[in-house]
Structure 1
Amino acid sequence: MHTTPTTPVRLTAGSLTLRPWAPEDAAVLAGLYEDEAMRRWAGAPVHDEPSAARWVAEQHRGWETGERLAFAVEEASDARPVGHVVLKRPVASAAPAEVGYWTAAHARGRGVAPRALAAVADWAFAAFAREGLTRLDLLHQVDNTASCRVAEKSGFTLSGLLPAAPPDFPLDGHRHTRQAPSSA
């Protein structure tokens, strides 16, 4: 059971703003999922604007339960989402939390994902220290080399190999971890 309130928050990381997803983001989100790489790696059931609206509503429920704290990532020069970062908190507080992310096609290669991921990791360790959060995991398939680079740039180190677990992970995977500053 989570004891720390999970009121949606806004974070900044340089020129990036991380904020809760809003219903008006659905149209932009549906457009972002036209990218083949997004559909391959992100895996969310977004196919059109109604499915995007359902996905956004699910992100709001995640904040309400405290189990999935999702952020839309915006650049100062672009007032529409260019990425997504999520903190997945397990119900059993002894288990590590997990982070995930994606970056829109037009924003890749500009350091959006590493900056946003590092900001969420820093915030999570500060916000949930009293609940005992000492480690974050980032998981991805072995063939997603870009995720390895993002993990390293965000302070996550490769800590293990994971066997394939279809359908979510049809291939073997990597586990990257980042320790809380006081437990490093």
Structure 2
Amino acid sequence: MTAPLTGPAPAASGLLLRPFRDEDAPALVEVYRDPVLRHFTQAPVTDEADAARWLDVQRRGWADGDRCSFAVLEEESGTLVANVVLKRGAAGGPRAEVGYWTAAAARGRGVAPRALEALTRWAFEAFAADGLVRLDLLHQVDNRASCQVAEKTGYRFETVLPARPPFPLDGHLHSRAAVPAG
């Protein structure tokens, strides 16, 4: 990767986005108690050991430059309310994928759209020199909330993707193109 993985973090009104830290483990365990979140995510976090493994994946992603995952905290309270992530291929290139989840207590307050918009702006700026021009967002067809977040943040619906492991249902592919400079 040629783009910097340091510098200003994404900014969103009322939210603080920063890389995950070891001290986020208890909050992760608590957030993952939500059955809705567990339904739509692949890696369960049921205890401190799971949280440590999950955090290690995020740390390695930053070190390898292929996964930039941000803890999304409420600015005033410091409470973990979401996660947003940029997933890049090892060689970089024109496309990447974004993902996110929102803690149950934060849903319906615009947290996911604000955090995703901040991540999107950051990604296009941070990786412009690496050729990034398109971001993809995928979700299962039964995840209406993710579809709404995608639409609110300008990710256009592209197509239905057939189910494939580990996803038991078809999915939606949304995408967003970088706005040309100038």
Partner residue of 1:77? 76
**Distance in 1 separating the partners of 2:41 and 2:76:** 24
The equivalent of 1:181 in structure 2 is: 179
State the distance in 1 between where 2:8 and 2:80 align.
Answer: 16
- Secondary structure at 1:79 match in 2: coil
Secondary structure of 1:161 counterpart? strand
In 1, distance between residues paired with 2:30 and 2:92? Answer: 36
Q: Which residue of 2 aligns with 1:134?
A: 133
Q: Does 1:66 align with 2:65?
A: yes
Contact 2:134 2:178 in 1 (8 A): yes
Distance 1:20 1:59, change over 3 A: same
TM-score (norm 2): 0.94
Instruction: Give the number of equivalent residue pairs.
Output: 181
Distance 2:179 2:62 in 1: 25
Q: 53-62 or 66-75: which moved more?
A: 53-62
Q: Check if 1:148 corresponds to 2:147.
A: yes
Q: How does 1:1-184 map to 2 (within 5 A)?
A: 2-7=1-6, 9-94=8-93, 96-167=95-166, 169-182=167-180
CA contact (8 A) 2:4 2:126 kept: no
Q: Among the aligned pairs, what percent are the same residue?
A: 56
The aligned amino acid for 2:110 is: G
Higher mean alpha-carbon deviation, 16-25 vs 90-99, is at 90-99
Q: Is the 8 A contact 1:73 1:83 kept in 2?
A: yes
